[in-house]
Chain A
Amino acid sequence: MTTFWDIVHLLTATPIIFVAIMGLTWGILGGALPGISASITMALVLPFTYTMDPAMAIALLACVYIGAEYGGSIPAILIRTPGTNSSAATVIDGYELNRQGRAGEALGISLMSGVIGSLFGLAMLALLTEPLSWLALAFTPPSYFGLGILGLSVIASMTGGSLVKGLAAAVIGLMISTVGTDPISGVTRYTFDIPDLLNGVEPVLVMVGLFALTELMSQSGSTAVLALKDSVRIRLPNLAMMNRLKRSQTIGCILGLFEGLTPGGGGSIAAFMSYNEARRWSKTPEKFGKGSEEGVAAPEAANNTVASTALIPLLSFGIPSSNSTAVLLGGLLMHGLLPGPRLFEQNPQVIDSLYVGSFIAIIAQIGVGVVLLPAAVWLVNRPRPYRAGFIFALILSGIYTLNMATFDLGLALALGVVGYLMRIAGFPFLPMILGVVLGHMVESSYRRSLVLSGGDMMVFLQDPICVGLLLAAAGFVIFSLSRELRDARKAKLQEALG
Chain B
Amino acid sequence: MNKDSLSGLVLLALAGGYYWATGFIADSTLEDEVGAVGLPHALTLALVLLGLILLVRGLLAARAAAAHAATGPGAARVEDEERDARVPRALGFLAIGAAYVVLLPYLGYLVSVALLIGAVSLFEGAPRRWTVPLTAIGGALLYWAVFVKLLGVNQPAGLLFQGWLS
Contact = CB atoms under 8 A, between A and B. Distances in A.
Interface of A: 48, 51, 164-165, 167-168, 171-172, 174-175, 178, 182, 184-190, 192, 213, 216-218, 220-223, 383-386, 388-390, 392-394, 396-397, 400-401, 404, 406, 409-410, 413, 416-417, 420-421, 424-427, 443, 446-447, 450-451, 455
12 contacts: A174-B39, A217-B94, A220-B86, A221-B125, A385-B120, A385-B124, A389-B136, A392-B93, A393-B120, A397-B143, A401-B155, A421-B10
Contacts of B139: 389-390, 393
User: Could you say which interface size class chain B belongs to?
Assistant: 35 or more
Interface of B: 3, 6-7, 10-11, 14, 18, 21-22, 24-28, 30-36, 38-40, 43, 46-47, 50-51, 53-54, 57, 83, 86-87, 89-90, 92-94, 96-98, 100-101, 104-105, 109, 113, 116-126, 135-136, 139-140, 143, 147, 151-156
Given A168-B11, A396-B116, A426-B3, A185 B31 contact: yes
Nearest to A221: B89
B116 A388 contact: no
Contact of A396 (B18, B51, B97): B97
Nearest to B50: A168
Contact of A450 (B33, B89, B121): B33
Contacts of A220: 86, 89-90, 92-93, 123-124
Contact of B43 (A171, A182, A221, A390): A171
A220 B95 CA distance: 13
A25 to B, nearest CB: 14
B143 A393 contact: yes
Contacts of A167: 46, 50
B100 A396 contact: yes
Contacts of B22: 189
Given A188-B26, A389-B121, A393-B143, A172 B116 contact: no
Most chain B CB within 10 A, of A185, A394, A417, A427, is at A185
Please give me the 3 A-B residue pairs with the lowest Cβ-Cβ distance, nearest first.
A385-B124, A221-B89, A389-B120
A174 B43 contact: yes
Contact of B34 (A223, A392, A450): A450
Given A389-B116, A409-B100, A425-B6, A168 B47 contact: yes
A91 B101 CA distance: 40
Contacts of B124: 220-221, 384-385, 388-389
Contact of B47 (A171, A417, A424): A171
Main secondary structure of the interface of B (DSSP, over half): helix
Contacts of A443: 39
Contacts of A223: 125
A420 B90 contact: yes
Most chain B CB within 10 A, of A51, A182, A213, A413, is at A182
B32 A218 contact: no
A185 B10 CA distance: 31
A420 B18 CA distance: 21
A404 B28 CA distance: 32
B40 A178 contact: yes
Contacts of A446: 34
B30 A186 contact: yes
B105 A406 contact: yes
A451 B35 CA distance: 11
Contacts of B147: 48, 397, 401
A103 to B, nearest CB: 29
A53 to B, nearest CB: 13
Contact of A51 (B14, B47, B97, B153): B153
A425 B7 contact: yes
A51 B151 CA distance: 9
A413 B3 contact: no
Contact of A416 (B10, B86, B94, B135): B94
A364 B31 CA distance: 55
A189 B22 CA distance: 7
B116 A392 contact: yes
Contacts of A424: 3, 83, 87
A385 B121 contact: yes
Given A190-B24, A389-B119, 9 more contacts: A168-B50, A186-B30, A187-B27, A217-B93, A218-B90, A389-B121, A396-B116, A401-B155, A410-B101
A476 B117 CA distance: 46
Contacts of B32: 184-185, 447, 450-451
A315 to B, nearest CB: 27
Most chain B CB within 10 A, of A384, A397, A410, A413, is at A397
Most chain B CB within 10 A, of A168, A213, A390, A416, is at A168
Contacts of A383: 126
A189 B44 CA distance: 14
A9 B155 CA distance: 34
Contact of A393 (B11, B30, B38, B117): B117
B153 to A, nearest CB: 5
A168 B92 contact: no
Contact of A389 (B7, B35, B89, B117): B117
Given A165-B54, A401-B153, A413 B94 contact: yes
A432 to B, nearest CB: 12
Contact of A397 (B25, B40, B113): B113
